[in-house]
Amino acid sequence: SNAVHSKLHWLDIEVSLRSAWCGKSSGWSGAGSTPGGVVEGLRKSSLFSESVVTQPVARSSGFSGRVDDFNKEGMQRGPARAVKSAAIPGIKHIVAVASGKGGVGKSTTAVNLAVSLTKLGRKVGLLDADIYGPSVPKMLGISGKPSMNPEGKITPLRNHGVYGMSIGLLISNPENSAIVWRGPMVMSALQQLLYQVDWGEKDFLVVDMPPGTGDAQLTLTQRVPLSGAIIVSTPQDIALMDARRGVNMFQKVHVPILGLVENMSFFQCPNCQHKSHIFGTDGVQEAAKEIGVDVIGKVPIEISIRKCSDEGTPVTASEPDSSEASEYLRIAKAVDQKVSETKTALPSVFMD
């Protein structure tokens, strides 16, 4: 009802982002607008014009909008400046699950990793950082609008022992709505999903990263003290090319690579048990050796993984004794061990 929406003060992203770009407070707005109205308001807003998008960037960073303002590595030219990362209250370890490209099973891996970590007795949060393609709500089986706590922070939704948050929970018709936002809007939304959510005391915050190495990835690696990153790839050469780029990005910003996960490693016929390596063999193993990291898991192509993800009941929760769940548990144990060996500081990432 309207009264409920007003009481919970649903996020007005348009007002919030305008304030953030003008150097004002970037907290959640209390305007009380409905999620559906937010997207429509953004669509009609002048925020989508070139002048409005580029001018605040120019004021804050000196960027003129010219291509030659970037060096050969894609970093903005100008005096070196430190970008301080800030801890998220209550979170011990933040682990990014990433891939160089979409379609390799990154989100499926992130969700099942989060559930598996709870099997180890850990308190776990899961952030869907893929703003353009939020799939965590469906995979984790969470829906409905999250509430606000007395401090004005959003309360994540819980299922299968995991506390999840996604932009998909804040928009109407998330399975069909297209989010058409420019980079600055995405980056501001990500920072609010990180710092304006009441995550509580958690051993792990698993971040389902968007594919690629763009603005969103750079924002997360700069602003958040990551304990490490997992790179997901199929054994296919094309996927591995992009996975190497993902590894390179994290190495440039000094984020430890916890390991590689070979997803869709093989298909085992349920009738004759013959294994078919549809995407090739040993590709991820060879890449890991070349990079100098471990392969911490090899997940097969299994109907149960796909079916359970579609139904919002991850295989690690619905079929905990299966071989697929055991492999995800192996990945979780490796992550748990590796982050305990890695002391995460709050680094200053210098951008030349």
- Which tokens in the block code for residue 346? 């709050």
Residue-wise pLDDT for 251-308, tens only, equals: 888 899 999 998 887 777 777 877 777 776 777 778 878 888 888 989 888 889 999 9
What pLDDT score was predicted for residue 4? 38
What was the pLDDT predicted at 219?
A: 76
Check pLDDT > 80 for residue 346.
no
- pLDDT per position as a tens digit, 28-69: 433 333 344 434 443 443 333 333 333 333 333 333 333 333
Bridge pairing between strands 91-98 and 228-233: parallel
Q: What is the pLDDT of residue 161?
A: 96
Lookup result for tokens 């209250």 = 89
Reading the block at residue 284, the tokens are 């991820």
Residue 28's pLDDT is: 40
Question: pLDDT by residue (tens digit) across 186-224?
Answer: 888 888 899 999 999 999 999 999 877 677 787 788 888
Please name the residues in contact with 50: beta carbons below 8 A apart, sequence gap of 6 or more. Answer: none
Residue 197's pLDDT is what? 95
